[in-house]
């Protein structure tokens, strides 16, 4: 049984590729572990290297729902876990005033699941089959919210005072992403598997461009990826990520560029707004710089 694990990893890698996601073999191994052990997976890396895409691909692969919790500063338990539908509860109270049932029954009725608004986390643990839960940019929330997450990620249960403890019918596949804006607590890190996602290398990026934008000719794709790779080597404030590469490829196709050479420099300059996105960086991409980059492609 132990010997054919590698073939499991390879087959997962191939299946991921069929669903439009290119992963290294080591990454596929980590994903296999995530799926088998149902431990949360923490992805760290620069913005735009395709961390969010992992969750989407996984959901497509498993053919299940993707529940996404986008974190932001000030995110509180009410918008992440659950909330009572106060207005409806109040209406129900008024209506029940004429009712002759005992008070306890009425109370149970008011605090039943009918009046519970499920937010992403609660939804994730009550949905079957197990969904993929994407907790995006966890580093944007504050420590208080991280503490809420701990209970949920270690036991996959949630306590609602009025209803009691709700346990997961089936453990969801949890993926957390972080850009490193804030240091995440060790307690949270310890509960997760960890994968650092780097900018893709030449081969991987080329493969991604070929899969995502199949209409681009082979030679042009090679040149474009080489161009982007050398832009990443430059001293930029914000290096272009994968998303930027794909945008730029689409932009060049739309501008009708068929090859990257000296004649196309003008149009490449025009399309750079898809690739470099700060004022300083754009100022740094002068014509001579672009010409040099083009010449090296």
Partner 1 sequence: MLTGIPSAAAERTPPASLEDALVARYTGFAGWLRANDFRVTSTDVAASLEMAQRMGQLDSELLRWSLRALLCSRAEEWRRFDALFEAYFLAPNRRKLGESKAGGAGRIETGDTAGRRDASEGTPLGHDGPGAADPDQVPGKTAEQGASVEASLAHADFRHLNQPDELFAIDDAIRRFAQRLRGIQLRREQRANNGRVVDMAWTIRRSISRGGMPLELGWRRKRRQRPRIVLLLDVSRSMSLYSFFYLRLARVLSARVSDVHCFIFHTRLVGIEQALRDPDPWRSQERLQLLSAGWAGGTRIGDSLGEFNQQYAAKLLHSRTAIVVVSDGYDAGDPERLQQSLAAMRRRCRCLVWLNPLASRADFTPASAGMQAALPYIDLLAGARDLASLERVLPQVLSALQ
**Where does this chain bind partner 1 (CB under 8 A)?**
1-3, 5-6, 9, 25-26, 29-30, 33-34, 36-37, 41-42, 44-45, 73-74, 84, 86-87, 89-90, 93-94, 110, 143, 179-181, 186, 189-190, 192-196, 235, 237-238, 280
Task: Strands of the chain (E only): list them.
Answer: 41-44, 66-70, 82-84, 116-118, 132-136, 157-160, 164-167, 173-178, 193-196
**What separation in angstroms does the CA of 12 have from each of 9, 29, 66, 163, 280?**
5, 8, 19, 40, 42
**What separation in angstroms does the CA of 284 have from each of 189, 230, 269, 274, 277?**
38, 14, 12, 15, 11
Minimum CB–partner distance for residue 259 and partner 1 (Å): 33
Minimum CB–partner distance for residue 137 and partner 1 (Å): 13
Minimum CB–partner distance for residue 179 and partner 1 (Å): 8
Give 89 or 230: the residue with its C-beta nearer to partner 1.
89
* Residue 31: HSE in the Cβ half-sphere, 13 Å Cα cutoff: 28
Minimum CB–partner distance for residue 193 and partner 1 (Å): 4
User: How far apart (Å, rounded) are the C-alpha atoms in residues 139 and 72?
Assistant: 8
Give 83 or 291: the residue with its C-beta nearer to partner 1.
83
Give 72 or 202: the residue with its C-beta nearer to partner 1.
72
Residue 122, Cβ density class (10 Å: 0-12 exposed, 13-18 middle, ≥19 buried): buried
Phi, psi dihedrals of residue 78, rounded to the nearest 5°: -65, -40
Give 225 or 276: the residue with its C-beta nearer to partner 1.
276
Minimum CB–partner distance for residue 174 and partner 1 (Å): 14
Q: Which residues contact 105 (CB under 8 A, 6 or more apart)?
A: none
Give 8 or 263: the residue with its C-beta nearer to partner 1.
8
Give 162 or 261: the residue with its C-beta nearer to partner 1.
162
Minimum CB–partner distance for residue 129 and partner 1 (Å): 22
């Amino acid at each position: 049984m132990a010997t054919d694990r590698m073939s499991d990893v390879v087959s997962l890698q191939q299946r991921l590729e069929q669903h439009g996601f290119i992963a290294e073999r080591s990454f596929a191994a980590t994903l296999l572990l995530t799926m088998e052990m149902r431990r949360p997976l923490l992805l760290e890396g620069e913005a735009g290297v395709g961390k969010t895409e992992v969750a989407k691909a996984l959901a497509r692969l498993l053919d299940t729902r993707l529940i996404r919790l986008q974190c932001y500063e000030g995110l509180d338990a009410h918008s992440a876990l659950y909330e009572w539908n106060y207005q409806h509860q109040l209406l129900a109270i008024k209506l029940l005033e004429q009712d002759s049932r005992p008070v306890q029954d009425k109370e149970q009725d008011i605090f039943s699941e009918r009046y519970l608004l499920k937010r992403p986390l609660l939804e994730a643990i009550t949905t079957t089959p197990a969904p993929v839960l994407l907790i995006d940019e966890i580093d944007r929330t504050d420590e208080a919210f991280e503490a809420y997450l701990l209970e949920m990620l270690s036991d996959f249960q949630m306590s609602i005072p009025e209803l009691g403890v709700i346990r997961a019918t089936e453990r969801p596949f949890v993926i957390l992403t972080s850009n490193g804006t804030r240091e995440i607590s060790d307690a949270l890190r310890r509960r997760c598997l960890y994968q650092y996602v780097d900018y893709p290398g030449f081969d991987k990026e080329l493969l991604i461009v070929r899969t995502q934008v199949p209409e681009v000719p082979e030679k042009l794709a090679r040149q474009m990826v080489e161009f982007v790779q050398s832009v990443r080597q430059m001293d930029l404030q914000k290096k272009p990520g994968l998303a930027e590469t794909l945008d730029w490829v689409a932009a060049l196709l739309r501008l009708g560029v068929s090859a990257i050479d000296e004649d196309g420099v003008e149009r490449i300059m025009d399309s750079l707004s898809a690739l470099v996105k700060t004022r300083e960086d754009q100022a740094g991409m002068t014509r001579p710089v672009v010409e040099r980059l083009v010449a090296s492609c």
